[in-house]
């Protein structure tokens, strides 16, 4: 090879190496930029919050889950001067919205409203896309209410014990409604059935309104439902109340005995509401959210709006709410297993 040819080969080799280095640099730079774009924003307790907070509701608009979100978002926004946006993500028995939060960045800018099914779903759905205990940070126990056990007035039953006696004499002939598998009124009745030793038939509905309409029309015999949903019909003598699910009587229906008082000792079901975030949230941000929400739930106008829907504000610490969630999971696991409840 001549000196000229050798020089040409060397020049080509240098150009090739230079080109390869440039390509590698571009690739590495692109990867770094992409990483910066996808990395979660840092959770700095000292500057939190300084941008929009999202509050996810895994239910459609309306009813108390949505009301709670609107109240809290408004009050947080007023206190902290940042937007707090409510996003309704219903579907999948609350699983769609809940899964989204389990995968969100734990920076305090994504919150989730949870309720009674949050504690029951781990037993009903064998392959949840999240771990109810490990994938969330409990923030606060927001409020609680109770279910009222009612019967259609055309049924000649005037007490809880009469309902139990009638169901035992007519196994499989009494029907009850619910708002779906795993709902509070569904599991309230399944626990009642188990403790009372009776056999009544489940008729699921897609909401409280159609269920109550069928009760009024005599198409089903009985149901548990949130007290505010059926109290107007009870007061108007269109439905007959036999018992309240809570440990103590409801202030909205003080003349109605608890189920325990009426003949099933130890029976208690609380319909509850709370707020969580993704797992791994900084403790300082958790405490800041918890403190502000406790303040919110003590405001007179907030307490009034809660009571208008028959809900008692609760509040408390994140650890107290975590204990409540674990207790609910344990309680409903036995009920679901004994009743062989399967997802729809």
12-33 residue pLDDT tens: 545 544 544 454 443 444 443 3
φ, ψ for residue 197, nearest 5 deg: 70, 45
Q: Which domains are present in the chain?
A: 53-144+271-339 (3.40.190.150), 147-262 (3.40.190.10)
pLDDT-derived band at 116 (thresholds 50, 70, 90) equals very high
CA dihedral over 29, 35, 36, 38, signed as positive or negative: positive
Mean pLDDT of all residues in 133-161: 96
Q: What is the pLDDT of residue 46?
A: 84
What value does the mean pLDDT take over residues 200-212? 91
Q: Give the model's confidence band at 40: pLDDT under 50 very low, under 70 low, under 90 confident, else very high.
A: very low
| Predicted local distance difference test score (pLDDT) of residue 27 | 42
Encode pLDDT of 225-255 as tens digits.
988 889 999 999 999 999 999 999 998 889 9
Q: Reply yes or no on whether the pLDDT at 55 is more than 60.
A: yes
Which pLDDT value is given to residue 12?
Answer: 55
Angle (CA) 311-312-315 rounded to 5° is 125
Residue 181 confidence class, pLDDT cut points 50, 70, 90: confident
pLDDT value at residue 124:
92
CA dihedral in degrees (292, 101, 306, 228; nearest 10)?
A: -170
Q: What's the pLDDT tens digit per position in 79-112?
A: 999 999 999 998 888 899 999 999 999 999 999 9
Beta-carbon contacts of residue 190 (< 8 Å; ≥ 6 apart): 202, 335, 336, 339, 341
Is pLDDT above 60 for 218? yes
Hey, is 208 helix, strand or coil? helix
pLDDT(37) > 50: no
Strands 240-244 and 136-145 turn out to be: unpaired
Q: Residue 29: its pLDDT value, please?
A: 40
Judged against a pLDDT cut of 80, whether residue 126 lies above it is answered with yes
Q: What is the pLDDT of residue 42?
A: 53
Q: What angle do CA 239, 244, 249 make, to 5 degrees?
A: 120
> Per residue, what are the HEC states of 27-85?
HHHHHHHHHHHHCCCCCCCCCCCCCCEEEEECCCCCHHHHHHHHHHHHHHHHHHCCCEE
Say what the pLDDT of residue 26 is. Answer: 38
Mean pLDDT of 191-197: 95
Average pLDDT, the chain: 88
Q: Tell whether the model's pLDDT for residue 166 goes beyond 70.
A: yes
What was the pLDDT predicted at 299? 98
How far is CA 209 from each of CA 35, 115, 139, 323, rounded to the nearest angstrom?
A: 49, 19, 31, 33
Does the pLDDT of residue 197 top 50, yes or no?
Answer: yes
pLDDT in tens, 273-306: 999 999 999 999 999 999 999 999 999 999 999 9
Give the whole-number percent of the chain exceeding pLDDT 70.
87
**Burial group, residue 178, by CB count within 10 angstroms (0-12, 13-18, 19+):** buried
Predicted structure pTM score: 0.79
- β-pairing, 201-204 vs 175-178, is parallel
Residue 9, pLDDT score:
44
């Amino acid at each position: 090879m001549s000196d000229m040819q050798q020089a040409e080969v060397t020049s080509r080799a240098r150009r090739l190496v230079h080109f390869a280095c440039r390509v590698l640099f571009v690739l590495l730079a692109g990867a770094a930029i992409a990483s910066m774009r996808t990395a979660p924003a840092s959770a700095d307790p000292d500057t939190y919050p300084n941008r929009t907070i999202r509050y996810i509701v895994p239910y459609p608009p309306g009813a108390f889950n949505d009301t709670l979100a609107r109240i809290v978002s408004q009050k947080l926004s007023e206190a902290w001067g940042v937007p707090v946006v409510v996003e309704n993500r219903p579907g999948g028995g609350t699983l769609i919205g809940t899964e989204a939060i389990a995968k969100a960045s734990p920076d305090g800018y994504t919150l989730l409203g949870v309720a009674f099914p949050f504690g029951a779903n781990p037993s009903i759905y064998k392959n949840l896309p999240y771990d109810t205990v490990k994938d969330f940070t409990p923030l606060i126990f927001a409020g609680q209410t109770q279910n009222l056990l009612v019967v259609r007035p055309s049924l000649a039953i005037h007490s809880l014990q009469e309902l139990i006696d009638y169901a035992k004499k007519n196994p499989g002939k009494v029907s009850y409604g619910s708002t779906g598998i795993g709902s509070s009124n569904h599991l309230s009745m399944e626990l009642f059935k188990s403790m009372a030793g009776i056999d009544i038939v489940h008729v699921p509905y897609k909401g409280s309104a159609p269920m109550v309409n069928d009760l009024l029309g005599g198409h089903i015999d009985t149901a548990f439902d949130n007290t505010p949903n059926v109290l107007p019909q009870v007061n108007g003598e269109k439905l007959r109340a036999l018992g309240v699910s809570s440990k103590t009587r409801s202030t909205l229906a003080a003349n109605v005995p608890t189920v325990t008082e009426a003949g099933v000792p130890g029976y208690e079901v609380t319909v509850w509401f709370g707020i969580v975030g993704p797992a791994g949230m900084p403790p300082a941000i958790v405490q800041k959210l918890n403190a502000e929400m406790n303040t919110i739930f003590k405001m007179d106008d907030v307490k009034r709006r809660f009571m208008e829907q028959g809900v008692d504000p609760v509040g408390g610490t994140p650890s107290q709410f975590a204990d409540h969630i674990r207790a609910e999971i344990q309680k409903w696991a036995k009920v679901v297993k004994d009743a062989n409840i399967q997802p729809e």
